[in-house]
Amino acid sequence: MPDILKIPPKLISMLEKLEEYAYFLLHGGRGGGKSQAIARFLLYLTEKKKLRICCGRETQNSIDESVYTILKDLISEHNLNFEVYSAKIVHRVTGSTFIFKGFREQGRVNIKGLEGVDILWIDESQSVTQPTLDIIIPTIRKEKSKVFFSMNRFKSNDPVFKEFDSREDCLSIKINYTDNPFCPQKLLHEAEESKLKGDDGNYNHIWLGNPLDDSDNCLFTQTNLTECRNFEFHYNEALYGCRIGAFDIARMGSDRSAFVVLEQKGPMQWEEIYTEVWQKKDLAHTTGRILDRIGKFKLDISVVDGDGMGAGPRDIANFFQNTPKDIVEFRASNASPDDINVNTGAKRVVRRHSNLKSWAWWQVKDLIENGWLRLNDDSLITDLESIMYDFKPNGERFIVSKAKMKALGLKSPDVGDALMMAVSEIRHINKISDMKASNLPKYANANDKDLMGLPRYAESS
């Protein structure tokens, strides 16, 4: 074996059976060498013949979020004959090309440039949604083309795993750090530390590659999230129409800002009618966008994430001081509304929730379980799949932090948080009906490039 093909023995069959399968699914925990093995194999192949390879992910905000760095480092380490450009890699002799792509751009699946690829490698495949999969896979139709998936499963029914694990034309291999003789010593040490912590270390998911819903701390079941798309409300919508909009503001480099609108459809019934996301902008842009959306959607209550503005507490204070009175500042760490006994006004001895955020997420859960909240947006459903909770020793419930979610390989649930903030204000809708008729008849979805002609009710094909 050439040095570039120094991969775990368990994955050698991927090389030996290349011609036998159209799909290759490598899944398991951290340290298994999945991405390294595929990268090494593809570099080896592209030195032998001219191939066009696309390395893709569900979303890719920058080249740094792709497998570009893995390939670049291997090329340097083994002194391979490739030209490494800022957004592609080309072999100087065979002309083989690696390109890097985020499939979902501006809210739509972008297949431009995929029709002619010989090999598609989808890293972090656990993030790929069913709508993306339904469009991407039929596009890879070149004769003898191959698709490689590498993933650490989130859920038992992750679309990629559910579709390909049992297919006859797919070679599926589970590999963990215990199967990888090349696993770095540092990772071996981290795995043992996680193992010692038990459930608190998330060893079962992070290192053994088992799906998160093997545990009992996911807030929403898959049944919940499937059914909430199809709830039917039998009320005269013209009698309702109250709107609550919420803005989750980006606070970290990879986070997105998100805006979700709920519309009242009955005494207790609500529907998510509009969702949009945008990349982190400065405070002036964000403030202007918030005020614009409040006017365009005629919101009755507007909720803004008071923890997220990048310009600091003083700018936040100034923002709220100079905005319409119906804007509510959401502070996740504020006390839960049910900490106070409504009859006596006294603080409860035993707290049910650690903070307002935990309480609000349980309100979302209750609405969905009762059939009172209809959701439409795919990215929103995906965010809700990853929300986890836990208990403190005193019995308080709390939502697992974004930092811990990212350590598990989960993305920040920005759209989900916007929904949660909107739901937190439903308690302030005192009237059970409203003569203001809805002027957004059905679900709408827009993104940054679609916003000039708001309101926009459906995506163009």
Which helix or strand (DSSP H or E) is residue 100 part of?
strand 97-102
Which CATH architecture group holds 222-453? Answer: 2-Layer Sandwich (3.30)
The H or E element that residue 274 is part of is strand 270-279
Burial class (CB in 10 A: 0-12, 13-18, 19+), 461: exposed
Q: 3-182 belongs to which homologous superfamily?
A: P-loop containing nucleotide triphosphate hydrolases (3.40.50.300)
Distance of CA 218 to the CA centre of its chain: 15
Contacts for 414 with CB less than 8 Å, ≥ 6 apart: 248, 250, 255, 256, 257, 258, 277, 383
Tens digit of pLDDT per residue, the chain (461 long)? 789 999 999 999 999 999 999 999 999 999 999 999 999 999 999 999 999 999 998 877 677 778 999 999 999 999 999 999 988 999 999 999 999 988 876 556 777 778 789 999 999 998 888 888 888 888 898 889 999 999 998 877 788 999 999 899 999 999 999 999 999 999 999 999 888 876 555 788 889 988 876 556 788 887 788 889 989 888 887 788 899 999 998 765 556 789 999 999 988 899 999 999 887 667 778 888 888 898 899 999 999 888 755 334 335 545 555 555 568 888 888 888 876 665 666 665 556 788 899 999 999 999 999 999 999 998 888 888 888 887 776 667 888 887 777 666 667 788 999 999 999 999 887 544 444 444 444 444 444 444 444 443 333 33
Spans of all domains in the chain? 3-182, 222-453
3-state secondary structure of 192: helix
User: Using CA atoms, how far apart are residues 338 and 324, in angstroms rounded to an integer?
Assistant: 28
What does the DSSP 8-state code read for residue 401? P
What is the β-pairing status of strands 97-102 and 104-105? unpaired
- Contact call for residues 233 and 374 (beta carbons, < 8 A): yes
Tell me if 136 sits within 8 A of 114, measured CB to CB: yes
Asked if 115 contacts 71 with a C-beta cutoff of 8 angstroms, the reply is no
Ramachandran angles phi, psi of 249, nearest 5°: -100, 130
What DSSP element (H or E) covers 150?
Answer: strand 146-151
327 CB contacts (<8 Å, ≥6 apart)?
A: 294, 302, 303, 304, 320
Q: Are 279 and 256 in contact (CB under 8 A)?
A: yes
Cα separation of 365 and 149, whole Å?
32
* CA separation for the pair 262, 183 (Å, rounded): 48
Name, in order, each residue with C-beta under 8 angstroms of 77's C-beta and a sequence gap of 6 or more.
none
Please give the distance of CA 390 from its chain centroid, rounded to a whole number: 20
pTM of the model: 0.59
- The answer to whether 149 and 25 are in contact (CB under 8 A) is yes
Per-residue tokens: 424: 């937190």
SS3 at position 327 = strand
Burial of 3-35, coded b for 16+ CB within 10 Å and e otherwise, reads ebeebbebbeebeeeeeebbbbbbbbbbbbbbb
